[in-house]
Structure 1
């Protein structure tokens, strides 16, 4: 916010008949007594916040603050009263422009009826008959004065009542009465006017300080929030960098694992092919083995049959050998008989009977 400087008014010259200020609107009324502001009947005074009152109404004000906007000032003297008055006038004009705008709406709920504007910071909120955002603003900021836009009445949240008709003199804390404008006591009237000017100078200084403190608090709050956000952004950036590094490491690991997986898949495929080849070989070998087994079984059966045939043949050969031997013996005997006539008519029955018995026994055993 801009730095404001406020000075006390040293003196004010006042004409009891003609007002020092010219009214811009002949129909304007005093905010205290609600009577028309006619300079021909009574003294009229416009204070630094650009609100105009009857002098005798303003002297009855015991608070030292504006009856409309309740601006007040501490008793501090600084330089630059004209600059601060100009700044406040611009602020008041902006507030009046905002109040005259038909598009006024609650800052929170966008309501356009029963609106109140804070006289400290210009916050617009809805009244208690809606969602009471103006009262919530008071609880958050402790800005106790709010102006009802529709009726231009000022509400004091501290005293819980309208304060635009209360008047108090801050110099002695007592009710005062402004003399009639036809009185001859010009010096007393001028002193009271100077007192009023001083009071409102204090009032303006106080409210400007309040505004400065409010906006400085807002700036400090925003600065702290920005610093927190900056720290959070730094933390997020650091986390983002670490996350990116971790992501790169994981992606590298994934690439390595994918290569290993591709190699394993190739090995698996080749192994499956080898397995299928060996499986085919096993099937063919099994078939060959079964064939060979069948052949072996058939050969064994054939061998057994051949062995049996061989045994039979051997028996036959043995019998034939016996027969041949007997025959040879018979032939030899006959030859000898032929050679020796003495042996003719003899017989050899014993041997023949033995061989005959053997033959008969073998045949019986075969049967």
Structure 2
């Protein structure tokens, strides 16, 4: 009896401390994946396979500018002095306000370089943690989910783009997908409001990811629900998600669309093609988090991971195809749209079609980032 009573607090403490232990484990893994960054947090900025160091330097300045404008009530935010004398040019890139706000206390405590690197490690850690939460919602066991979280931390697109800070935080995507699954399964205004908030945070982390989710999320949710019949019952709660997203993200997307329209911005087709995914890029895999200046970033996971993923799909299909089908559709959509400029016939392609009909898509330069969903 006394043993049972004595063990109760122990079980309670273990249950309370487990999330922090998992967090610490993923944080250590983030340090290992970016080594030897940790001993140089205050003096170096990490790079991936970018040919120059321009992007990490610009991103470091972007974090500083966000923190600076936060302290001044966001006045003059879009008229960033780095683009002087041009006005509102900051709206044409990735403003990263969410990352800027997250880095603000770190900038105050340890300075900009260490804050930048600390934020990078935090993003990688959250990728693993939100990956575990997403995979648990997919029905995987705790152990399998934690292994999957490690896998998500090492995605090729992330590992080869450490110098492009806005590409690293896929945790916003994972949060949005988890919220969408819970909203479809359980309903309720609160869950749909969370979906809108998660999507807005994702857009604030990476506008590309937010826009890509807006194209993939609706069909994914239809497949998730088992068909379009239930879609009609979602109209009102889905309106809640739309309003929450529109309100939270409106300071960003309204200015972006205004400037894109005012300047009639169009991407150079040759540049768009050069930066799009191709089948050979999916075949070749990079060594995770290592190497510099590859002519074209590789998107392949490696044959072993491909084989494991295929085996998991086959086994899952035999057990419950309704769990596997939505993820196949999401991965297939990301794979196809990452190569959208090559999907077409004669004078038209899928990228052009989407640019004509979906607001904001005409400004997309790097379609290969859709590969994050594959």
Q: TM-score, normalised by structure 1?
A: 0.22
Greater share of strand residues, 1 or 2?
1
Greater share of helix residues, 1 or 2?
2
